[in-house]
Amino acid sequence: MSGPAERIVVPKPNHLRRNLIILGVTALIVGSAWFAGFDLGRILLNLRKGGRLLGRMFLRPDWAYTPRIVDPLLETVKMSVVGTFWGAILAFPTAVFAANNFIKNPWIAQPLRVILNVTRSIPAMVMASVFVAVFGIGAFSGVVALVIFTFGLISKLTFESIEAIDPGQVEALQAVGANKPNVLRYAIVPQILPQFLSYTLYGFEINVRAAAVLGYVGAGGIGQIFEQNLAWRNFDRVGLIIIISFFVVLVIDLASSAMRRKLV
């Protein structure tokens, strides 16, 4: 006859660590809101005023102003196309030399990575403001800013793709005595080309959005006419600019996303 079953004691979970994490995150959020001057009561008190403003912008836009928007909007798209093209052209060879599994020389790869980190850490609007001071007001300053921004973005994504390729093809070519250019052409490029094209389209999507606000610092595009109407408090025209820009960017995003899905 077996003895009485032993009582299984399940230890109570210690919630101290969880509670401390929740308390710390809450304190961080509350402290950040206080430091930034966030006031929920102010938002609630201005709901009616904000509603009237939004109604003026989006319910009664100045449709007669549409012809004045076409040229700046086309300039924004052109800036994005040129900036993306040249940024991608510069990004590809840079990504190849920055990849550790191609050149395998840290004295080349690491300085390039530092340069890419710097270019990606500076917002396009900040670069555009600098180039406006150098080259003057106009779309050229915005294009240069977009080229540098796209260069940093696509280079980073591409050299990571190069480092993630299947090494079997590279090793097979090297076993038969292929040199570096042949390895690049026949083993690396075929594997990363779809990703590179996808990254280029992704950069174009980002640049369309970025170019739309570069006009704030005088770098041309739709942002410049947006800033002018906002300064003059022409909210019916501001709403029209936002509506048309939204649909243009939406169409570009949908088309680009469809093409990227076919590439990858």
Counting every residue written for the chain, the total comes to: 264
Cα dihedral 243, 249, 250, 255 in deg (nearest 10)? 150
Question: Looking at residue 196, what is its pLDDT?
Answer: 93
Amino acid identity, residue 154?
A: I
CA nearest to 101, candidates 161, 17, 143: 161
Q: How many helices (H) and strands (E) does the chain have?
A: 12, 0
- Return the exposure string of 101-122: e unless at least 16 CB atoms fall within 10 Å of the residue's CB, then b: ebeeeeeebeebbeebeebeee
The CATH superfamily holding the domain 65-263 is MetI-like (1.10.3720.10)
Kindly calculate the radius of gyration of the chain based on its CA atoms and give it in whole angstroms. 27
Q: Is this model's pTM higher than 0.85 or not?
A: no
Question: Looking at residue 153, what is its pLDDT?
Answer: 92
pLDDT, one tens digit for every residue, the chain (264 residues) = 555 556 666 666 667 788 888 999 999 998 888 888 888 888 888 888 888 888 888 888 999 999 999 999 999 999 999 999 999 999 999 999 998 888 878 888 888 888 888 888 888 888 988 999 898 888 999 999 999 999 999 999 999 999 888 888 888 888 888 888 888 888 888 899 989 999 999 999 899 888 888 888 888 888 889 888 888 889 999 999 999 988 988 898 888 888 877 776
Question: Looking at residue 181, what is its pLDDT?
Answer: 85
CA nearest to 90, candidates 149, 163, 165: 149
Question: Looking at residue 11, what is its pLDDT?
Answer: 66
What is d(CA 64, CA 259) in angstroms, rounded to the nearest whole number? 35
Q: Residue 27: CB partners within 8 Å, gap ≥ 6? A: none
Domain spans of the chain, in order of start: 65-263
